[in-house]
Amino acid sequence: MVKRIVTISFLVLSCLVPAAPAQADGPERMPQVAGQGLVAAYRALNFDTSVQLRDGRGAGRHVLWPASWKVCSQSPEEGASLQGRHATLTVVKTHEACPV
């Protein structure tokens, strides 16, 4: 019985291990995520990329439910190297207009 529990636990944990980065053969580049939903932006970024979110309305709101937010702008720009850097995404709620 113990062997069965250990085997099942191992299988469950092995499914939780993150996939290898999509660009494992070179330096990671910033994808274009401005204009996308926040969930799609997270998927486009490598799992080990440090991401900082900034409220586009300047209200200092915190993102509690990423599916209800969209990305208005990004730093660095698309194609820039992310090696040793973090990405900053300016976000607003999906029903709000992006700041100009």
Listed range (6-15, 23-32, 41-50) with the worst mean pLDDT: 6-15
| pLDDT (tens digit per residue) in 46-94 | 888 899 999 999 999 999 999 999 999 999 999 999 887 899 999 999 9
Beta-ladder partners of 37: 70
Secondary structure (H, E, C), the chain? CHHHHHHHHHHHHHHHCCCCCCCCCCCCECCCCCCCEHHHHHHHCCCCCEEEEEECCCCCCCCCCHHHEEEEEEECCCCCECCCCEEEEEEEECCCCCCC
Q: Are 67 and 38 in contact (CB under 8 A)?
A: yes
Q: Tell me the pTM.
A: 0.71
